[in-house]
Amino acid sequence: MPRLKVVLTNSAVPLHVEAAQVFAGLDVDFVTVDASSEDELLRLAGDADAVIALAEPLSRRVVEGLPLCRSITRFGIGLDGVDIAAATEHGIWVTNVPDSNYREVAVHAITLALSVSRRIPRLNHAMHQNGAASLALAAGTRRPDDQTFGLLGMGRIGRRVAAMAAAIGYRVQAFDPAVSWADASALGVTLVSFDELMTTSDILSLHVPLLDSTRNIVSIGMFSGTEKREEEHFSGMKAGARPDIDHGREADHFTFTICRLLHAGRSFANRALVT
Ligand SMILES: NC(=O)c1ccc[n+]([C@@H]2O[C@H](COP(=O)([O-])OP(=O)(O)OC[C@H]3O[C@@H](n4cnc5c(N)ncnc54)[C@H](O)[C@@H]3O)[C@@H](O)[C@H]2O)c1
């Protein structure tokens, strides 16, 4: 049997060290490449029998440029970066690693939520700017026991976030059609409708996969329209509410837009979202 070529398309994580050990002694040439464009990726990985990708988008064009490829492994959870239809048409298996980093993502989500909730970015900024941070900057900070932590999606990551939020003292509520009442209440979580989640959460944490059915689920019209539309979008949220995002690549745009608006000191329908 000819030697196989396995290409890891990202050297940013130390995975290549472990993977090289796994492949050592097998008839496998294991190589790690970093490509800055589809063309470069195709040039470097075009003869791969298997591809391991971190977050590099594997579009139809890339998939179709891998004639020998039999499997694409996403070293992570979300599969939205892989054109699964194209891979399926070409008989390529697509796999992921569902438990790869859900703990870290959950910790990160809680860290961000607490950071914003406790006004850390604002205080930190003042400290850097002025060498002092006035307590007035933290005015309005509320203790977790007085706040409701909302989760859109309560799978692996959402559950982990729910447990931590509950331990901190938040009231935790969630919308996830796949979760039973019994399951939720065992975690101390109240299941609510989508609308209730949007209108009664102080912190909203998104943990749904990026699918056609969830794309822009919270940010309807946000990317296509004017700031007015963005404003309208958030007008349904509870006063002072903060979104906390973990939603595939779309999240970057969403988070970016939120940050841009926050930096601009925007408020939403007269409800301050600024932290
Ligand atoms: N930002 C990051 O660094 C990062 C890292 C890992 C994962 N993720 C993303 O987080 C997502 C969630 O990961 P997970 O491990 O918790 O996945 P999971 O499959 O365990 O859970 C997803 C949950 O979302 C629910 N869901 C689906 N559609 C919904 C909808 N319309 N409304 C409400 N709930 C809905 C599902 O029922 C499921 O319980 C992944 O798909 C991935 O894209 C992001």
Reduce the secondary structure of the chain to three states and give it as a string: CCCEEEEECCCCCCHHHHHHHHHCCCCEEEEECCCCCHHHHHHHHCCCCEEEECCCCECHHHHHCCCCCCEEEECCCCCCCECHHHHHHCCCEEEECCCCCHHHHHHHHHHHHHHHHCCHHHHHHHHHHHCCCCHHHHCCCCCHHHCEEEEECCCHHHHHHHHHHHHHCCEEEEECCCCCHHHHHHCCEEECCHHHHHHHCCEEEECCCCCCCCCCCCCCCCCCCCHHHHHHHHCCCCCCCEEEECCCCHHHHHHHHHHHHHHCCCEECCEECCC
Centroid of ligand 1 to alpha carbon of 10 (angstroms): 23
Could you tell me the two tokens for 113? 């939520």
- Ligand 1 lined by 208 (C-beta under 6 Å): yes
Give the pTM: 0.81
- Ligand 1 lined by 214 (C-beta under 6 Å): yes
Burial class (CB in 10 A: 0-12, 13-18, 19+), 6: buried
- Ligand 1 lined by 105 (C-beta under 6 Å): yes
Q: What's the mean pLDDT in 166-179?
A: 96
Q: What is the pLDDT of residues 112-148, one digit of tens each?
A: 889 888 889 889 999 999 999 988 888 888 899 999 9
Centroid of ligand 1 to alpha carbon of 40 (angstroms): 31
Alpha carbon distance 263, 97 (integer Å)? 36
Instruction: Return the CATH number of 4-96, one of 3.30.450.20, 3.30.565.10, 3.40.50.300, 3.40.50.720.
Output: 3.40.50.720
Indicate the pairing of strand 71-74 with strand 50-53.
Answer: parallel
102-274 has the same fold as 4-96: yes
Q: What's the mean pLDDT in 222-238?
A: 42
Per-residue pLDDT band at 272 (split at 50, 70, 90): very low
Q: Alpha carbon 104 to chain centroid distance?
A: 11
Q: How far is CA 172 from CA 131, 149, 154, 206, in A?
A: 37, 5, 11, 13
Q: What's the mean pLDDT in 15-27?
A: 85
- Give me the pLDDT at residue 83, please: 96
Among 164, 176, 212, 214, which is best to mutate for testing ligand 1, by the most ligand atoms less than 8 A from CB? 176
- Give me the pLDDT at residue 199, please: 82
What superfamily would CATH give domain 102-274? NAD(P)-binding Rossmann-like Domain (3.40.50.720)
In degrees rounded to 5, what are phi and psi of residue 74?
A: -90, 115
- Give me the pLDDT at residue 174, please: 97
- Ligand 1 lined by 152 (C-beta under 6 Å): yes
- 73-77, 243-247, 262-266: least confident range: 262-266
Could you tell me the two tokens for 223? 């990317």
Please say if the pLDDT value at position 233 is more than 50. Answer: no
> What's the mean pLDDT when you consider all of the chain?
82
- Ligand 1 lined by 77 (C-beta under 6 Å): yes
Residues 6+ apart with CB under 8 A from 67: 46
- Give the rounded percent of residues in the chain with a pLDDT score beyond 70: 79
Q: What's the mean pLDDT in 212-233?
A: 52
Q: Alpha carbon 96 to chain centroid distance?
A: 15
Do residues 261 and 273 make contact, with C-beta atoms less than 8 angstroms apart? yes
Please say if the pLDDT value at position 7 is more than 70. Answer: yes
Domain residue ranges in the chain: 4-96, 102-274
- Ligand 1 lined by 149 (C-beta under 6 Å): no
- Ligand 1 lined by 248 (C-beta under 6 Å): yes
